[in-house]
Amino acid sequence: MKKRSIPVFVLIFMLLLSACGPAAAPQPTAEVTAAPTDPPPTPTPTAEPERVLTICLGQEPTTLYRYGSSARAMWSVLEAVYDGPIDTAGYRLQPVILQDLPTPENGGVEVQAVAVQAGDQVVDVDGSLITLEVGARVYPAGCTGPDCAITWDGQQPLEMDQVTLRYSLLPGLLWSDGQPLTAADSVYSFQISADPATPVSRRQIERTADYRQVDETTVEWVGKPGYHPDETSNLFWAPLPEHAWSGMSAGQLLTSEESTTRPLGWGPYMIESWTRGEQISLVANPNYFRASEGLPRFDRLVFRFLGEQADNNLNALLTGACDIVDQTTLLEDNLAELAQLRSEGRLQVLVGQGPEWEQLNFGIRPALYDAGYNMYGGYRQDILSDARLRQAFAHCLDREGLVESLLAGFGQAADALLPADHPLRAADLPGYPYDPARGAELLEQAGWVDHDGDPATPRQASGIPTVLNGTPLSVELLTTNAPQRQASAQYLAENLRACGVDARPRYLTSEELYASGPQGPLFGRQFDLAQFAWQASTGLPCFLFTSEQVPDQGNNWLGVNISGFASEAFDRACAAATSPGATDEDRAEVQRLFNEQLPAIPLYYHLKLAAARPDLCGLSLDTSARSEFANIEALDYGEGCQQ
């Protein structure tokens, strides 16, 4: 409640003095004089009103225990409880409570050769954790690329690289209860995450040979032989408060009120209360290590749970019930209204792109071809294996127009494996701007002729060695029955028809489209064209199109390269680009090959949308970050706020 200031009134009393003698001897009346005035009391300063920031979420967290969930709503709140320990901005890692990230230059990375023998756990050239045995494909010590990898014969002595990483905490860190935060808390966190009762990915844990405290502020991670991590952010375990939680087992931490509803942190705010179904209230942490910088900017932080309905959340923002509406609300359902309100200056819209990217995937090699292709076999003709045809399709698709139509101008067309602002993105990649005339030219070169001059009828095959003459250029385009996907498929089909391609959209439920192979159309490789989304990692996702990732009977239909695309050159380039010794040239080569061969056509990046009051500053939607609230301590609004 806002405090009222009370006016201070200073009352000055005048004392009248008189002298009285005995009655028989009256004295003259004394002169009336004013007594000296006492100094007025110091006015009480007017109390500053409490500053409150209200963030409205589309979802309520189920827990605030960092190892109990990975939901976005949970991390929106935990960004206020923790700060870091390592943030990502613009796809680049930034230490927050660490002095630096380990590098060979600062002495934080050490590599030494260690002897290994049969039965030892090592990491092979594919990054898989294996038990060393005859025939294992590994990198010997000093080797970081596929050109020097060996197949172990079980006889020759073998040494492999073992990597050690050293992390140093900032000095003087405190938990919100005032207790020191030390390297032991990070080791405790590793032990909890490694406990079988803790439901987290085991990948990094399994590749860890040791995780140990060196001194009060330093920990060391030691990897299994052969493991060269491509990033270091996931090999420092975020501290947990050992002094407060050591009496509970890993299993108990999953359900304890102490860990799930009011976790201790070191960040700008600390949990005050959680009213289920309504809100979580936090207050500024007096022990925050950046408090001397005037952070955080607010005395109180409130996360309200309004549900996913975009219209309700926008109304709450416009009426002042919310200062920010986060990206878990369905703002993409109200793109036109968002654009109008933004143009009127009534709110600001924060837009992020990806990391999910929509694509049009080609069914280049259906599963039926695995037993051998025969153009007279009675199944679909081999119409998609020629890269010129796939390039023609790319020229025939107006991706910029698609984005404008679907996303009201908020989105961005995709044109490669990585977005334009990614630090690993190669320059001067082959591109396919919207150019139907060029698309038609490439189709003619590939043997698909316009036999009647009527764009309403499909082109036909003529002189293609693997396709029967007269075969119409007709394809089925599968996607989900979501309204936006249906609109997109119809738009793409119209583009392709203008180039003489008979494209027929068909809509399935998500369960039907993504069903496991061999029955499922995608993972069973039973489709012509398919529109869906992949979520790219922070690295280079070329593995999505390597030969070993083709789902088939041999791997129980578990691969992700559903196109069936197979290229030895691409496989080699992807292996080199993702190896420990990868160079910029290696990464550029695999991107160039993808854009030349086009096993899939990138369409657009998925939107991440948030909205805020017009005068809010400091908020951005960096999709490489864990949450849009990574810098929640610096958010501000009102006078003095720098946009």
Whether omega before 85 lies within 30 degrees of 0, making that bond cis, reads yes
Please say whether the dihedral angle defined by the alpha carbons of residues 545, 546, 552 and 558, taken in this order, is positive or negative.
negative
> What is the crossing angle of helices 335-343 and 310-318, to 10°?
20
Q: What is the DSSP string of 34-71?
A: PPPPPPPPPPPPPPPPPPEEEEEESS--S---TTT---
Q: Examine the domain organization and report whether 308 and 372 are in the same domain.
A: no
Q: Examine the domain organization and report whether 386 and 535 are in the same domain.
A: yes
pLDDT score recorded for residue 280: 98
pLDDT score recorded for residue 13: 28
Cα–Cα distance between 433 and 602 in angstroms, integer? 12
pLDDT score recorded for residue 47: 66
Cα–Cα distance between 174 and 291 in angstroms, integer? 12
Q: Examine the domain organization and report whether 262 and 385 are in the same domain.
A: no
Within a domain: residue 23?
no
Q: Examine the domain organization and report whether 431 and 537 are in the same domain.
A: yes
Query: Rounded to 5, what percent of the chain is helix, strand, coil?
Result: 25, 20, 55
The CATH code of the domain that includes 502 is 3.10.105.10
DSSP state of 515: P
Within 13 Å and on the Cβ side, how many CA atoms surround 235?
29
Within a domain: residue 30?
no
Within a domain: residue 558?
yes
Q: Examine the domain organization and report whether 71 and 112 are in the same domain.
A: no
C-alpha distances in Å from residue 585, one per residue of 223, 538, 582:
27, 18, 8
Q: Examine the domain organization and report whether 622 and 588 are in the same domain.
A: no
Cα–Cα distance between 544 and 577 in angstroms, integer? 13
Residue 39 has pLDDT above 80, yes or no: no
pLDDT score recorded for residue 199: 94
Q: Could you tell me which of 359, 343, 354, 448 has the C-alpha nearest to residue 402?
A: 359
C-alpha distances in Å from residue 334, one per residue of 18, 304, 352, 409, 410:
84, 21, 16, 13, 12
Q: Examine the domain organization and report whether 602 and 617 are in the same domain.
A: no
Which pLDDT band, with edges at 50, 70 and 90, does 232 fall under? confident
Which pLDDT band, with edges at 50, 70 and 90, does 353 fall under? confident
Which residue matches tokens 């009134």? 9
Residue 348 has pLDDT above 50, yes or no: yes
pLDDT score recorded for residue 478: 98
Q: Examine the domain organization and report whether 495 and 545 are in the same domain.
A: yes
Within 10 A of 242 (CB to CB), how many other CB atoms are there?
A: 19
Within a domain: residue 24?
no
Cα–Cα distance between 392 and 473 in angstroms, integer? 12
Mean pLDDT of 198-208: 94
Residue 62 has pLDDT above 50, yes or no: yes
pLDDT score recorded for residue 421: 85
Q: Examine the domain organization and report whether 467 and 543 are in the same domain.
A: yes
Torsion of CA 369, 374, 378, 383, to 10 degrees: 70
Residue 37 has pLDDT above 50, yes or no: no
Which pLDDT band, with edges at 50, 70 and 90, does 40 fall under? low
Cα–Cα distance between 372 and 379 in angstroms, integer? 12
pTM of the entire predicted model: 0.80
Residue 89 has pLDDT above 90, yes or no: no
pLDDT score recorded for residue 14: 29
Find the helix or strand (DSSP H, E) in which 569 lies.
Answer: helix 568-577
Query: Average pLDDT of the chain?
Result: 89
CB 383 within 8 A of CB 471: yes
Q: Could you tell me which of 533, 568, 525, 526 has the C-alpha nearest to residue 550?
A: 525
Of 35 and 351, more confident? 351
Within a domain: residue 46?
no
Share of the chain above pLDDT 90, in %: 74
Which residue matches tokens 């045995």? 133
Within a domain: residue 642?
no
Mean pLDDT of 527-533: 96
pLDDT score recorded for residue 355: 77
How big is the chain, counted in residues? 643
Residue 3 has pLDDT above 70, yes or no: no
Within a domain: residue 29?
no
Number of domains in the chain: 3
Residue 33 has pLDDT above 70, yes or no: no
Q: What is the DSSP string of 190-228?
A: HHHHHSTTS-S--HHHHTEEEEEEEETTEEEEEEPTT--
Residue 565 has pLDDT above 70, yes or no: yes
The CATH code of the domain that includes 311 is 3.40.190.10
Q: Within its chain, how far is the Cα of 214 from the centroid?
A: 32
CB 127 within 8 A of CB 170: no
Q: Examine the domain organization and report whether 113 and 228 are in the same domain.
A: yes
Residue 549 has pLDDT above 60, yes or no: yes
Find the helix or strand (DSSP H, E) in which 441 lies.
Answer: helix 436-445
Find the helix or strand (DSSP H, E) in which 600 lies.
Answer: strand 600-612
Cα–Cα distance between 455 and 469 in angstroms, integer? 19
Residue 110 has pLDDT above 90, yes or no: yes
Share of the chain above pLDDT 70, in %: 91
CB 604 within 8 A of CB 518: no
Cα–Cα distance between 65 and 624 in angstroms, integer? 22
Residue 289 has pLDDT above 90, yes or no: yes
User: How confident is the model over 394-431, as pLDDT tens digits?
Assistant: 999 999 999 999 988 788 899 999 988 888 999 999 99
Mean pLDDT of 121-133: 94
Q: Examine the domain organization and report whether 314 and 384 are in the same domain.
A: no
Q: Could you tell me which of 486, 466, 468, 489 has the C-alpha nearest to residue 477?
A: 489
Long-range contacts of 96-101 (CB under 8 A, 24+ apart): 97/169, 97/170, 97/173, 97/181, 97/266, 97/289, 98/167, 98/168, 98/169, 98/170, 98/236, 99/168, 99/169, 99/170, 100/168, 101/232, 101/233
pLDDT score recorded for residue 44: 55
Within a domain: residue 10?
no
Q: Within its chain, how far is the Cα of 351 from the centroid?
A: 14
CB 82 within 8 A of CB 263: no
- Integer-rounded Cα radius of gyration of the chain: 33
Of 336 and 26, more confident? 336
Cα–Cα distance between 586 and 138 in angstroms, integer? 20
Q: Examine the domain organization and report whether 340 and 480 are in the same domain.
A: no
Domain of residue 276, residue span: 52-90+257-347+613-637
User: How confident is the model over 469-516, as pLDDT tens digits?
Assistant: 999 999 999 999 999 899 999 999 999 999 999 999 999 999 999 999
pLDDT score recorded for residue 17: 29
Residue 24 has pLDDT above 70, yes or no: no
